[in-house]
Structure 1
Amino acid sequence: MTRANTDRRPSRNSAQGRQIKDDSSKSGILRFFLGFLIPYLVINGLILFFVIQTPTITADEPDTKDYKSADVSFKVSSLIPMKSVTATIEGQEVPLEKNGSTYKCTLTNNGNLTVKAVAINQMTKSTYIQVNLLDEANPVIDEDSIVLGAGYLEFDVSDTQSGVNWDSIYGIDNLGNNVKPTDINQTTGRVTFSMAGDAITVYVKDLAGNEAQASFSVN
C-alpha cells in the first residue's frame, strides 16, 4: 500500500505542473496581444489613416441675379485640420469668405474656377468649376432682318443670356435728333424706328449693361 501511495503522488504533481505551465503560456500570449500587438496595430493604423487622409470638396452650381456677377459656394470636408483653401480663376486668386467649412466667392467674369484644399498632412484636393453664366456679350442685331427705307427702319434684336433691355433702345439720326422706337415687339424682338433724316445710328443694351450699336443709311 505504501508503494502504491508513492506512485500516485508524482502523477498528481506532474499534472499540476503541466497545468501551471499551460496557464502561464496562455497568459503570456494574451499579454503579448493585449499589451503589444493590438496597441501597435491600432496606433500605426491611426497614424496611417491621418497620413493619407485627403480633404473632399463639394461645390454648388454658380448662381447669378444680374448676370454681371456670380456667387460660387463650396464645402471642404476633412477629419483633420486644413492648412489652406484657395481659389483662382484663370490664374488670378479670388478672395474667399469662410463660414465654418463652407466657402463663398463672387466672380465678375466667366472662366474656369480652380479650388484647392491642403490639409496639415500635406494631402491636397483640387476641383474645377466652370463659370459661363455671366453675360459678357453684346446684344445681337440680326443683319438679315433689317428693312430700311425712306423714313423708317426695322430690325430684330436678341440676347440669349441676360435679355434685351428694351427701355434702353434709342437712335440718333444724321440731323442730331435723339429718336426712340415707334414700336417694339418683345415677343419677336422686332424694333421699328421712324427717321426724319436718311441715316441713323441705333444703340441697344442688354440687362447686364453690354451695348451694341449699328449705323444705317438710305442710299
Structure 2
Amino acid sequence: MSKRINAKHKLDRRVGENVWGRPKSPINKRDYGPGMHGQRRKGKKSDFGLQLMAKQKLKGYYGSISEKHFERTYNEAVRRRGNTAENLIGLLECRLDALVYRAKFVPTVFAARQFVNHGHVMLNGVKTNIPSARVKPGDVVEIKEKSKNMALVLEALQSAERDIPDYIEVDPKKMTVTILRIPEFAEVPYPCTMEPNLVVEYYSS
C-alpha cells in the first residue's frame, strides 16, 4: 500500500473529522487517532499545532499534493492581489483534478488525479495528463470519448453522495465541465471545517 493511499485512510482519524464526507470513513466508527496511541487523551493544541493541523487537512483534502507543490501554491496566492486565504482556495479549486472531482466524473480526489494522469481528460480539446494544470473561467474540460463509458465514471455521475457547486457547469450527457468563475471560500462545498486563515498564519509565522 502506497504512502498516499495509506494517508487517505488515516487523515480522517488524525484530524478527527470526516474530511471528504465519505460514508465509509473510519472516523464514523473510530473517532480517535490512528496507531497504538490513538486512544490516549488529547491535550490542548498550541497555536502552531492548530495551524499545522489546518494546513495538513487542507493539503490532504486535495489528495496527492506534495508539501513542495502546496507551498508553491501558497506563495502564488501571496503574490496575487486580495485576500491570501481566498486566493489559496481559488487556486486549489482551479486544479484540473479538483475540477474533475467537483464535476462528479470520479468518486474521490485520489481517483481524479489517477484519471487525469492516465490521459482520460481533455482541456479545451487537448489531451492533458497533468493533474495540477490550471483551469481558467471559460475553459472546457471533457472526458475523452473512449473513456465516457468507464464504470468508474458512470457510477460517480449517478452517485447522490455529493452536490455539484454553482461555480461550475456540468453537461452530464456530453461529459463536459466548465468553470464559470473562481469560487470564494464560502462557496466551496467542503464536508468538514476548513480554516485557510490558519494556513496563512502557519506560513507567515
- TM-score norm. by structure 2 comes to 0.20
Q: Which has the larger radius of gyration?
A: 1
User: Which is helix-richer, 1 or 2?
Assistant: 2
User: Which is strand-richer, 1 or 2?
Assistant: 1
> Which structure carries more relative contact order (alpha carbon 8 Å, separation 6+)?
2
